[in-house]
């Protein structure tokens, strides 16, 4: 289903590009190169502007609908992917210990961590409160 909607979406985008490039400005007519008034006979009494404008609106509506459909499909795929994730017990965070940080050995890096241990060489700064 997703591939079908994606194909329709891509084709709609290409058709919109083509329709926009085929449209002329307000002062020009599509059949101007064939002579005066030729656009009215090729595309009807309204001229080419109304035909291309209406076709562009229809294909643009289809494009927005397929965009919305693809967003819903992507949302549903992400829900399925996140519901199936189970974290093994070996990768869960280790329990905190009762040893204060100042009493813990500094030279021994933790085996499960990739972050190197940091030695605290500065003395704590005391802050005086103003009354």
Q: Are the C-beta atoms of 54 and 19 separated by less than 8 Å? A: no
Higher pLDDT, 63 or 102: 63
Task: Kindly list the domain boundaries of the chain, sorted by start residue.
Answer: 2-83
Check whether 105 has a pLDDT greater than 90. Answer: no
pLDDT digits (tens, 9 = 90+) for 35-80: 555 555 556 655 566 888 899 999 999 999 999 999 999 998 887 6
């Amino acid at each position: 289903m997703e591939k079908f909607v994606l194909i329709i979406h891509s084709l709609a985008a290409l058709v919109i590009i083509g329709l926009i490039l085929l449209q002329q400005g307000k002062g020009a007519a599509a059949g101007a190169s064939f002579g005066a008034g030729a656009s009215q006979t090729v595309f009807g009494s309204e001229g080419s502007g109304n035909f291309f404008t209406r076709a562009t609106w229809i294909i643009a509506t289809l494009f927005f609908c397929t965009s919305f459909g693809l967003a819903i499909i992507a949302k549903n795929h992400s829900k399925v992917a996140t519901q199936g994730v189970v974290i093994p017990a070996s990768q869960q965070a280790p329990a905190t210990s009762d040893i204060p940080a100042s009493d813990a050995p500094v030279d021994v890096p933790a085996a499960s961590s990739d972050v190197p241990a940091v030695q605290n060489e500065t003395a704590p700064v005391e802050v005086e409160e103003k009354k």
